[in-house]
Homo-oligomer: A and B are copies of this chain.
Amino acid sequence: MADNKDRFVNQIADINTDYTKWYTDVCLKSELCDYGPVKGTMVFRPYGYAIWELIQAEADKRFKAHGVKNAYFPMLIPQAFLMREAEHVEGFAPEVATVTHVGDTELSEKLVLRPTSETIIGNMYSKWISSYRDLPLKLNQWANVVRWEKTTRPFLRTSEFLWQEGHTAFATAEEAEADAMEMLGVYEEIAKDVLSLPVLTGRKSEKEKFAGAVATFGMEAMMKDGKSLQSGTTHYLGENFAKAFDIKFLDKDGTHKYAYQASWGISTRLIGAIIMAHGDERGLCLPPVVAPVQAVVVPIGAGKNPAVAEKAEAVYSALKNAGVRVELDDRDLSPGFKFNHHELRGVPVRVELGGRDLEAGVVTVCRRDSGEKTAFKIDGCETAIKSLLVEIADNMYKKASEFNASHIVAVKTMDEMEKALDGGNFTDAYWCGDRACEDKIKQAYAATSRVFHADQSHVGEHKCVCCGKKAKHRIYFARAY
């Protein structure tokens, strides 16, 4: 029967022995995505794109609540723009794709595909901003960007990806820096409330900051292999791009000043974070807020019992009317196949309804996060299931938080660091602040500094994990995607 023929859906690699293959298996077999024809590109299939649409909706409303408006800027940027900010071009030039021809005609100026839009937006801001009355200016765009990477992986690193980039301009440095911090807070809230994802947030080292920024603040999520996934960044740009693009305004005091800027972005990488932070040996485990299918109703033995089919339909309708994103799986396949299929796809709640359930007036509800099964009265089950979705989101956050807490190891020496990293942990270390030590740690253990620790209070009492000099910072080092 179809059951056996289709068992392949369950053939994903073992998460404990081959995490890398497990990841790509889950991506492809749950039909989140596929590889594109050009190396390093990917296709967002409907199931994966639907997650992104849900993330977008949740993020967009939060941005708008912060007074941000959406706009759209050209993707093609004059190559010369990139050159204007020295660090910016150095950081991005090697991975920038360049358009030289249209049809058979060579273009008079080379154009690059945006790797990020500080430059072209800076160019427009210089036109739009002339008075303090024009400030603050807070725009965001949802767009595709291109960064040509040598090693690529679906969602994590592809030559083209989807993201949002916020670009803000203010009259004062304080406001711009505050914006970078505030948006970091918004990202943290999205991670928690939308993705059930606990994160570490804080400032990044000079080495790890955005090319062209004064300071970069990052949000790091821990994956189940103990590696970090940078899941969002905000940048305080100071006057760097304002000077490069002549963004000046006449202030209240009658003098001309450069505007201060910030920028911030999250991307389709977040889908990778969801997969790797919540997934398990059975596949995806989607946070209810962004699950394209929040519940699936599976009638059991409906072929022999029309009353089951009928009631399953009624339960499906009740859930749909209650605003739950629900599917009715009445395909002619065995329940076992269906269970595996929906588990692989990470559907948060499975609602089983068989003859015995019907007699008892209940549905059997199975949670994807815990595997727990409970009987719910059919009448009003939609309300109970809506509450359960909230409980599942909370529990997923709690489980991931516990995992994180048990995988952050305080280390005093390089040996301790190595052992902790090899054990699949983040390390909580003291550091002198010198780039040389960061380089050494990267070379020795393939780990990088992630973000400064929230608590910097006793730093002076400690020594650098690497060189032993007096520490200036408490910071997380980890391997990262």
Contact = CB atoms under 8 A, between A and B. Distances in A.
11 contacts: A34-B128, A36-B120, A37-B78, A38-B76, A38-B78, A38-B109, A52-B72, A53-B70, A75-B160, A95-B103, A98-B100
Interface string A40-55: 0111111001101100
Interface in A95-139: 95-104, 109, 111, 113, 120, 123-124, 127-128, 139
A468 to B, nearest CB: 39
Interface in A12-56: 34, 36-38, 41-46, 49-50, 52-53
B101 A38 contact: no
A97 B101 contact: yes
A52 B104 CA distance: 33
Nearest to A73: B43
A74 B123 contact: no
Interface of A: 34, 36-38, 41-46, 49-50, 52-53, 69-78, 81, 93-104, 109, 111, 113, 120, 123-124, 127-128, 139, 143-144, 146, 148, 159-160, 162
A290 to B, nearest CB: 15
Contacts of A143: 144
B102 A95 contact: yes
B103 A72 contact: no
A400 to B, nearest CB: 27
B101 A144 contact: no
- The CB with the most chain B CB atoms within 10 A, among A98, A109, A128, is that of A98
Given A43-B124, A46-B139, A139-B46, A36 B73 contact: yes
B74 A43 contact: yes
Given A94-B103, A98-B101, A36 B74 contact: yes
Contacts of A96: 102-103
Given A120-B37, A144-B144, A72 B95 contact: no
Nearest to A42: B74
A38 B94 contact: no
A203 B72 CA distance: 33
A70 B99 contact: no
Contacts of A93: 103
Contacts of A34: 124, 127-128
B70 A49 contact: yes
Contacts of A144: 75, 143-144
A339 to B, nearest CB: 21
A249 B316 CA distance: 32
Given A34-B127, A38-B111, A144-B144, A72 B98 contact: no
Contact of A160 (B36, B38, B74, B139): B74
A78 B100 CA distance: 15
B76 A160 contact: yes
B103 A41 contact: no
Contacts of A113: 99, 113
A135 to B, nearest CB: 15
A70 B97 contact: no
Nearest to A121: B43
A228 to B, nearest CB: 26
Contacts of A94: 102-104
B102 A99 contact: no
Contacts of A36: 73-74, 120, 124
Given A76-B146, A93-B103, A97-B102, 11 more contacts: A37-B74, A37-B77, A38-B77, A44-B72, A74-B159, A75-B144, A76-B97, A96-B102, A97-B101, A98-B101, A103-B148
